[in-house]
Amino acid sequence: MVKNKHNKKPTTLLRLVSTLVGCVFMIHLIMLYRRNYSVDTLEVSSQLLIHHPIVRELERVEEANIHMPPPRKRSPRAIKRPTTLVEEFLDENSQIRHLFFPDMKSSYGPTKDGGNDTLHRFFPGKIWLETEGNPIQAHGGGMLYDEKSKSYYWYAEETDETHDLHKLNVLERPKVIYNSDTGKYVMWMHVDDANYTKASVGVAISDTPTGPFDYLYSKSPHGFDSRDMTVFKDDDNSAYLVYSSEDNSVVHIGPLTEDYLDVEPVMKRIMVGQHREAPAVFKHQNTYYMITSGCTGWAPNEALAHAAESIMGPWETLGNPCVGGNNVFRWNPADLRDSRYLWLPLIVGGPADRPLESSFGFPMWSRVSVYWHRQWRLPSRGGKEIA
């Protein structure tokens, strides 16, 4: 019997494909094992929360239902055409501007007579008053939960009369974390000049969460420009600086020193060439999540959610987290002090929107959803609010 030597090629190719598929399958099984999906107390608590009736109410898709005004000419030579929602938002003379920026008549806060129930509700986009009855000015700020005082602190952009903090310069996005080893509250911030060419970070410290904070210095972290930034403190008390860099084309992540006063020389470049800014990082069930904005200045753009099993990456994009009312924007380019706050429920659960960029299939972590609501309140159970 004469054997055909060419018969070996299809068999070899089939074995190669089968081996590759088997390897991919085994990798996914190993990843599943590492994720440890056993039902523990935390997961049971999360399942109970997901099925809470008010949580189901928060997941209801609610559209903005904005009716566009009739077309009009914006200049004598312009062609009369329908305008987009973004154009109406950016137009100071828009007929529907009151929908984007409600006036003081609809404001809310502790000094407004709206009943006790309004104190436990959020009204995204409306003017929020502080205890003296004035609009809260806390744009581009950061939140800190202080374990010592059991209180939340909201830090806002501020100016001073000296060097980096001169009134003609820029101080944005102050973020505060507590160092339990030194007993200091450490503030990191974006420091810039009026032309946004300095592109640095600034560091300040305080003995209390309310200050005063002593300004230490500014620098270019890792030798790069730094604009929109945040800091993240992990469960093991290690902390990280996350910032948009290289003309906002790349996001950098690097660990801070043990005293949180400087960056370590280690740094990872992520989202290369994606032009993302305004990073916000949180951790849920051992997965790290980040929400970023596109680079369009004060003009609206699509948010994106990202996830990783390690804070240093690799990071994968999950998709746009916004659900319902996606086209309602609150930065006011004409008057930044009149920009509004959007406090909305964020829920982690369900499959991700996009496949993995680095391998086959979809990621095993959950998508992030931010649901639009005209008003909402935190779910409660047994008289206690669930955060």
Q: Is the pLDDT of residue 178 over 50?
A: yes
Task: Specify if 30 maps to a domain.
Answer: no
Residue range 41-63: mean pLDDT, rounded: 55
Max avg pLDDT among 52-66, 229-243, 298-312, 360-374 = 229-243
The tally of domains found in the chain comes to 1
Cα distance between residue 42 and residue 304, in whole Å:
27
- H helix runs in the chain, sequence order: 8-35, 41-50, 53-58, 85-90, 97-100
Task: Specify if 26 maps to a domain.
Answer: no
130-163 pLDDT, tens digit per residue, is: 888 888 888 788 999 999 999 999 998 754 445 5
CATH code for position 253? 2.115.10.20
Burial code (b: 16+ CB inside 10 Å, e: under 16) for 108-120 equals bbeeeeeeeebee
Task: Specify if 325 maps to a domain.
Answer: yes
Residue range 107-125: mean pLDDT, rounded: 72
Please give the residue range of the domain that contains residue 70. Answer: 40-385
Cα distance between residue 176 and residue 209, in whole Å:
8
276-286 pLDDT, tens digit per residue, is: 999 999 999 89
Lowest mean pLDDT among 66-70, 75-79, 170-174: 75-79
Task: Specify if 16 maps to a domain.
Answer: no
Task: Specify if 65 maps to a domain.
Answer: yes
- Supply the pLDDT for residue 342: 85
Which of 333, 337, 336, 332 is CA-nearest to residue 137? Answer: 337
Task: Specify if 32 maps to a domain.
Answer: no
Q: Specify the DSSP element, H or E, that contains 245.
A: strand 239-245
15-38 pLDDT, tens digit per residue, is: 655 555 455 444 444 444 444 433
Cα distance between residue 24 and residue 380, in whole Å:
43
Task: Specify if 6 maps to a domain.
Answer: no
Residue range 341-353: mean pLDDT, rounded: 80
Q: Is the pLDDT of residue 128 over 80?
A: yes
Task: Specify if 10 maps to a domain.
Answer: no
Q: pTM score, two decimals?
A: 0.77
